[in-house]
Structure 1
Amino acid sequence: MVCQENVKIIVMLCKLEDNECTKCEKYWPDDFSHFRFGMFLIENVSVKGNGSYIHRALKVKWNNNTRTVHHFQFLSWTLKDVPSSPKNFTVFVKQLIELSDEYPVVVHSEGGCGRTGIYILCDIILRMSIKEKKVDFFKTLEKMRNQRGGLVSNLDQYIFSHFVLLEYYFGKNFSSSNKPSDFVLKIQEAMQESAVKRFVDRLDKATEHCRTISLDDTFNNIRVIAVDCFNYPGRFIVTEEPSANNLCSFWNLVANNEVEIVIWLNGIEDNDEEYSSFWPKDTLHWSLNESNKLDIVWQENTNDTYNTITIKIDTTGKSEEKFVKIIYVKTWERTSAAPSNTKGIIDVCDKIVPYNGQIVVTCYDGTTASGLFVALVFLLEKINTHRCCNVFEAAKTVKQNCAQFLKNPEQIKYLYEAALEYVRKFNIYEVVV
């Protein structure tokens, strides 16, 4: 089909696997290798990525013909109906619009309806807006559904396409300057009280339709919010500290997802009867219930900011043992909107870099410290990947998942302080833009 229809671009809107379920068979070779399908020889000659998507160049040979097909796989879309932020998806669609004027484009997801429909609707609407200076979502979708039923599966997806249009025309670049002196000056200006107030007002307007996205209903007795990180879609599972009433549910959440790390941001206060440590302390072994048993494998007093504890989870019916690292932050008081030790928190962010699995982030109320932490990780990952400091993008991306994130203006100031500390620490601010 690709060769017959003279296709030059394939758009893939799902992962090969999601939540241990196969979503699509892999139809391209590994990076810089090749394989044969019947009379077609396919070679993967180039791979580029920016965290939210991967661009592969596939050279296809058959008979005496050779063609390069560009394969774009969007990654920042987990099991949710829509991506958590329209920004990365808008950039993705915009780039493909600029490339795909002359040739047919193959678009697919798992089922070829919801995600595929959103992409096609956004592509048509953006082209319509450029050419005709007006748009008609309803008639466009009606025409699409006359050709293939079920495209754009629900109201959230239809609304999301409107946000993509708004992001395309009104989304701004709030990145900081690329000169060292200008960068420091911009950070200092951004931390002024009046600038922070304008930032908060702009953030509130941009996220006034925040959505709280929960995981599987199995865990509905604890509040759970899924949050994307810059390089890892669906990386964070944000929740409140488990109490005695939902301790088993918490560890079931960890055991039944691809969780490698649990980050506990607020310590337990003395004589707290409702909350206590949620891993074995006085004994090295816990039996939570008939299904789950916890064993401490290694406990380390890492530094003044945090400790690390490695836990083994033994789940009945599963042959493989699961190991989870707990990072326990000791210096972030429950009453504080931001931690006092910025360098220590940056060290925590660096510590999670080698891990590819999901990360559970928990704090006293489930939102204050956790919202700031996941925004900080997003910000630092973008600085490290693109040498680009964009506090507004980090705050907006995170806050769109939950309106309770980043409510305190002091947290915005902290993100700027942490960005400055980070680029100074690694001496990279000369190329930050």
Structure 2
Amino acid sequence: TSSVRGFPFLHILTNTCRFLTSAATEEPEVIPDPAKQTDRVVKIAGISAGILVFILLLLVVILIVKKSKLAKKRKDAMGNTRQEMTHMVNAMDRSYADQSTLHAEDPLSITFMDQHNFSPRYENHSATAESSRLLDVPRYLCEGTESPYQTGQLHPAIRVADLLQHINLMKTSDSYGFKEEYESFFEGQSASWDVAKKDQNRAKNRYGNIIAYDHSRVILQPVEDDPSSDYINANYIDGYQRPSHYIATQGPVHETVYDFWRMIWQEQSACIVMVTNLVEVGRVKCYKYWPDDTEVYGDFKVTCVEMEPLAEYVVRTFTLERRGYNEIREVKQFHFTGWPDHGVPYHATGLLSFIRRVKFSNPPSAGPIVVHCSAGAGRTGCYIVIDIMLDMAEREGVVDIYNCVKALRSRRINMVQTEEQYIFIHDAILEACLCGETAIPVCEFKAAYFDMIRIDSQTNSSHLKDEFQTLNSVTPRLQAEDCSIACLPRNHDKNRFMDMLPPDRCLPFLITIDGESSNYINAALMDSYRQPAAFIVTQYPLPNTVKDFWRLVYDYGCTSIVMLNEVDLSQGCPQYWPEEGMLRYGPIQVECMSCSMDCDVINRIFRICNLTRPQEGYLMVQQFQYLGWASHREVPGSKRSFLKLILQVEKWQEECEEGEGRTIIHCLNGGGRSGMFCAIGIVVEMVKRQNVVDVFHAVKTLRNSKPNMVEAPEQYRFCYDVALEYLESS
């Protein structure tokens, strides 16, 4: 009885079973009529079946109730996630919370966006009301109350304000949502490619399974007496509101270099986007189709007039001439070098900056942007989808990633080749929407900065404070597994603070052997504006890591050491260099060659050599000990003196090792102070090269490697202050 308490239907079932059992086992006094016996059996069977049906229905009801409770819990969790997204984007989407948006009609639009009905009416905002955030642009009002994106679509467009919530839900259960969505794409050939399959065109295809569909292929003007010369492995791709805005193509092979330049000329393209390196993992991914100086390809003469190498990409400017034409055209190649050999970039920050640079550089009257990787499908698809979706988010406040990929695949086979790439596209667009466009032209910087620091009387905040909060919200959080090497027991005593560890992917492993000491040091490699891994940010050496510090200097060819805190034995900060003469630190011999002082900076020049490899000679290193930063202050006492330090280091670096030497920067924890030095150094280079100031991007790039770079709001503002000081002094 106790076992069925609380379950009345089980109690009824028990009594019924007892009745049936007693009825079945009771001896009859009279032998019943066979017909009556049959009726009785039928009745018993009917009663039993009815009871079983009742039980099954009751179980179904219980399951439905439980499922509704789970659904309610999930709905509550989604509500909490949405609140988080709303909090993160409120600075950039306050006016958008209660309305849908649409873009104006464009008679040229023939892309996948055509399935939606748009209203041409729009709301104007004054220039002073606009901020740099992606959503703070002129907004387009909806004709009706319902969003057209919610009707008739299996995969509706997502509002930017809901994108974080959507991505978080899709990533649950080991990204099952993304897996299911990506696998729903049609894989393989979806249209005819008869021309590409012709025998005379086979050698023009890098990969036999990634070739051009007939209906969207670029048809070249045939060369005389060669009818097959109209083929190139390339397809037109529609952009946002721009038909055939892109050409997706493979990385040229040796046989198609001339065809490639014919296409550039014929289509009047001004920008080439290259999203691969020439060789990756020992395999040739693309033939070098451009000259370092001048080269002739058939009747084309290509001359490289400028090359601008940056940390994650290279910009090359060519002049293009054709025999028989009295015309010289300029073509820019944007070569993204930061895509890893396997997988996708760890962060989208660099690629987003690259995409914006291309968008800004492409003339409005130019032909299609030519995009290629190796096959012209995976990375090429990623680039194009992100570019289209950024335009869509800016104009409409929604993104339609799924249908965009689907549309691209109808034009060229397998655009966006992996689930990992599909997820990366979402992460990249989310980062762009959260961070917005933060670059400020030099000519507008002073006025923009004063506007940013003005306190709003209603919110008691400022644009600058909001920007720093946004920076904190998009800064990656390191997990223990990200810092597994620093967390090894044998490395514990090499860390000054166990909550400020470098991630494994950024570690500079020591090469010079020093007895049984490990190859770990608490340091992180970071990009400057122009050079990958140009900075090494580290903590002030501990007494037991001084030898490791000098191994780091030698092994990584460091020509500058920037010291941003004081010698303090009470905090375990010893003097790690010889004041005069020569000292040996493990396998590294350090000799002080000179010492001088200039205002707030003590300059020491050391000559170091590796005693285990004396045949390698000496390395000259200058140490810059900065005295203008009191230990109790968040920022230096003088903007001018700190800027002078940065420019001194920059000048020395240009003079040493042909500018290829690295710079070690250290403070007590290898964080806030070191991050400020690196960030301002990046901004100064940015001003020189691009005439823009983007403090947000500089700090975000550094924090992608180490989250404690530029820790305090005062430090972040100081970066802006020094940028203004640099502009006014120069």
Q: Deviations over 1:44-87 (max 9, x none)?
A: 25327596642412426589999857242346838664455565
The 8 Å contact of residues 291 and 304 in structure 2, kept in 1 or not, is answered as: no
* Partner residue in 2 for 1:171: 437
Residue correspondence of structure 1 range 5-404 to structure 2 within 5 A: 5=260, 6-7=263-264, 8=269, 9-13=271-275, 27-30=289-292, 33-36=293-296, 39=298, 42-44=301-303, 46-47=305-306, 49=308, 53-59=314-320, 70-74=331-335, 77=338, 81-82=346-347, 84-85=349-350, 88-95=353-360, 102-103=367-368, 105-108=370-373, 118-126=382-390, 135-138=399-402, 147=414, 157-163=424-430, 165-166=432-433, 170-173=436-439, 178=444, 189=454, 198-211=463-476, 214-216=505-507, 218=509, 221-269=520-568, 271-272=569-570, 274-281=572-579, 283-289=581-587, 293-296=588-591, 298-315=593-610, 316-317=612-613, 319-354=616-651, 355=653, 356-357=659-660, 358-404=662-708
1:41 to partner: Cα distance = 6.2
The amino acid of 2:584's aligned partner reads W
* Partner residue in 2 for 1:430: none
Name the one with the larger strand percent: 1
Change (3 A) 1:188 1:335: same
What SS class does the counterpart of residue 244 from structure 1 fall into?
coil
1:99 to partner: Cα distance = 6.4
1:224 to partner: Cα distance = 2.9
The 8 Å contact of residues 29 and 35 in structure 1, kept in 2 or not, is answered as: yes
Mapped partners of 2:419, 2:365: distance in 1: 22
The amino acid of 2:538's aligned partner reads T
1:412 to partner: Cα distance = 3.3
Q: Deviations over 1:127-152 (max 9, x none)?
A: 66689985443565687696378558
1:263 to partner: Cα distance = 1.0
Mapped partners of 2:301, 2:715: distance in 1: 50
Q: Deviations over 1:276-302 (max 9, x none)?
A: 12333364131423xxx2332522223
1:155 to partner: Cα distance = 8.3
Change (3 A) 1:81 1:416: closer
1:338 to partner: Cα distance = 0.8
Change (3 A) 1:124 1:215: same
The 8 Å contact of residues 196 and 413 in structure 1, kept in 2 or not, is answered as: no
**Which shows bigger deviation, 416-425 or 64-73?**
64-73
Mapped partners of 2:579, 2:537: distance in 1: 23
Q: Deviations over 1:201-257 (max 9, x none)?
A: 332224423236642462684333343334445432222112133334333333333
* Percent of paired sites with the same residue: 19
1:260 to partner: Cα distance = 2.6
The 8 Å contact of residues 382 and 425 in structure 2, kept in 1 or not, is answered as: yes
What SS class does the counterpart of residue 725 from structure 2 fall into?
helix
Change (3 A) 1:146 1:66: same
What SS class does the counterpart of residue 579 from structure 2 fall into?
coil
Change (3 A) 1:243 1:113: farther
Name the TM-score, length of structure 1 as normaliser. 0.74
The 8 Å contact of residues 191 and 416 in structure 1, kept in 2 or not, is answered as: no
Mapped partners of 1:187, 1:124: distance in 2: 30
Change (3 A) 1:338 1:206: closer
The amino acid of 1:29's aligned partner reads P
1:407 to partner: Cα distance = 2.9
1:363 to partner: Cα distance = 0.5
What SS class does the counterpart of residue 623 from structure 2 fall into?
strand
The amino acid of 1:275's aligned partner reads C
1:266 to partner: Cα distance = 0.8
What SS class does the counterpart of residue 474 from structure 2 fall into?
coil
What SS class does the counterpart of residue 684 from structure 2 fall into?
helix
The 8 Å contact of residues 702 and 709 in structure 2, kept in 1 or not, is answered as: yes
Bigger Rg, which one: 2
1:273 to partner: Cα distance = 6.7
Q: Deviations over 1:335-394 (max 9, x none)?
A: 321111332211111113332333221111111211222222233333444554554444
Aligned-residue CA RMSD (Å)? 4.5
* Partner residue in 2 for 1:423: 727
Name the TM-score, length of structure 2 as normaliser. 0.47
Change (3 A) 1:162 1:73: same
* Partner residue in 2 for 1:431: none
Mapped partners of 1:157, 1:252: distance in 2: 37
Mapped partners of 1:308, 1:402: distance in 2: 28
Unaligned runs of 5+ in 2: 1-255, 479-502, 511-518, 654-658
What SS class does the counterpart of residue 605 from structure 2 fall into?
strand
Change (3 A) 1:414 1:314: same
Change (3 A) 1:85 1:179: closer
- In the alignment, structure 1 residue 4 sits paired with structure 2 residue 259: yes
The amino acid of 2:591's aligned partner reads I
The 8 Å contact of residues 121 and 140 in structure 1, kept in 2 or not, is answered as: yes
1:27 to partner: Cα distance = 4.9
Q: How many residues align?
A: 412
**Which shows bigger deviation, 342-351 or 315-324?**
315-324
The amino acid of 2:306's aligned partner reads V
Mapped partners of 2:315, 2:646: distance in 1: 24
Change (3 A) 1:24 1:63: same
Change (3 A) 1:257 1:134: same
Change (3 A) 1:323 1:62: farther
What SS class does the counterpart of residue 475 from structure 2 fall into?
coil
The 8 Å contact of residues 275 and 339 in structure 2, kept in 1 or not, is answered as: no
The 8 Å contact of residues 300 and 307 in structure 1, kept in 2 or not, is answered as: yes
What SS class does the counterpart of residue 722 from structure 2 fall into?
helix
Mapped partners of 1:369, 1:23: distance in 2: 41
Q: Deviations over 1:139-197 (max 9, x none)?
A: 656876963785585688445422465279x42555676498x58965874899x8875
**Which shows bigger deviation, 318-327 or 361-370?**
318-327
The 8 Å contact of residues 90 and 167 in structure 1, kept in 2 or not, is answered as: no
Change (3 A) 1:78 1:28: same
- For CA contacts below 8 A with separation 6 or more, give which structure has more relative contact order: 1
1:12 to partner: Cα distance = 3.1
Mapped partners of 1:179, 1:366: distance in 2: 30
Q: Deviations over 1:105-137 (max 9, x none)?
A: 24237x989865642442354466689985443
1:418 to partner: Cα distance = 2.5
Mapped partners of 2:377, 2:618: distance in 1: 38
What SS class does the counterpart of residue 4 from structure 1 fall into?
helix
The amino acid of 1:123's aligned partner reads D
